[in-house]
Amino acid sequence: MTTTSWNHSSRLYAVLAVCLLLAAAVAPAAAVSVGETDVPDSAAVGSEVSVTIQLTELYREPSLEEWELAGSTELENPTWTVVFFDQTGSKIGQESFGGQEFSGATVAASDDIDQIEVQLRGTVPSVTEYTYDPHQRFTAATLEQVPPGGGSNELASEEVPYFTEDSQSARSALDAAASAIENAGNPNEASSTFDLAVNAYESGNFDNARQLAQEAQNQAERAQQQDNRNQLILMGVGALLVVGLVAGGFLYWRSQQDSNDRLG
């Protein structure tokens, strides 16, 4: 019985070891790698933003001598600029594209291209769907590698949280409410009001969301005050109990003494 179970487990260990070895062998086989990227942390709707993505290790995994770079974005009125560098880091060429999608920037080893920098400028689009958690985002840039035979590999995809003035103020109200609720130990009433506020936010009803968030925050604070008060009352009762016990004990002790027995 014991030997079989040992056999089982040893086999398991063997399988695990093999898996680990395989993983170690596969891991270095990375595709085209993304170097420095410059993407804004968040962006207001209607503002102009720029995104920069560097690509290196251009001809590994799959080892292609030549391929085409394609890209897409949700930014409006975008301008794509693809800049090529050689191994010494000197710029050797540049191509520009318009439109939310571009393709056809040829990357070939024979052209001495060793690094690519994709620069993109455009206007942040209006929000299609609001989500509180995670923050609603738009795709600022997606880069793909198109091999000569067709098909595509995604190289990079950058998403940026975006907002309007209204949504941002509603969101900060929601954030404040959330932290108040957490501090108060997640009271039920405040949590459900908070859920309603999130719903209102997600359906774009920001005034309502703000109000609900404010209310949730108030409820949470009230709950916390109540909690504090209860705790205080409990402590008071406890203290009274202790005092009572001590006094009672003392009186009992004194009553046990014979000192006030007139006949004692």
The CB-of-240 to another protein minimum distance in angstroms stands at 18
**For residue 33, with 0-12 CB atoms within 10 Å meaning exposed, 13-18 middle and 19 or more buried, which class applies?**
middle
Q: For residues 201, 40, 156 and 111, what is the CA-based torsion angle, rounded to 10 degrees?
A: 150
Q: 197: closest CA among 215, 221, 185, 180?
A: 215
User: In this complex, which beta carbon is closest to another protein, that of residue 128 or of residue 259?
Assistant: 259
The CB-of-251 to another protein minimum distance in angstroms stands at 10
User: In this complex, which beta carbon is closest to another protein, that of residue 147 or of residue 244?
Assistant: 244
**For residue 66, with 0-12 CB atoms within 10 Å meaning exposed, 13-18 middle and 19 or more buried, which class applies?**
middle
Q: CA 229 → CA 218, 236, 242, 243, 257, distances in Å? A: 16, 10, 19, 20, 41
User: In this complex, which beta carbon is closest to another protein, that of residue 3 or of residue 257?
Assistant: 257
The CB-of-264 to another protein minimum distance in angstroms stands at 6
For the record, the structure tokens of 170 come out as 């509603």
User: In this complex, which beta carbon is closest to another protein, that of residue 30 or of residue 251?
Assistant: 251
The CB-of-257 to another protein minimum distance in angstroms stands at 10
The CB-of-236 to another protein minimum distance in angstroms stands at 24
User: In this complex, which beta carbon is closest to another protein, that of residue 88 or of residue 259?
Assistant: 259
Residue type, 102: F
Residues at the interface with another protein (CB under 8 A):
252, 255-256, 258-264
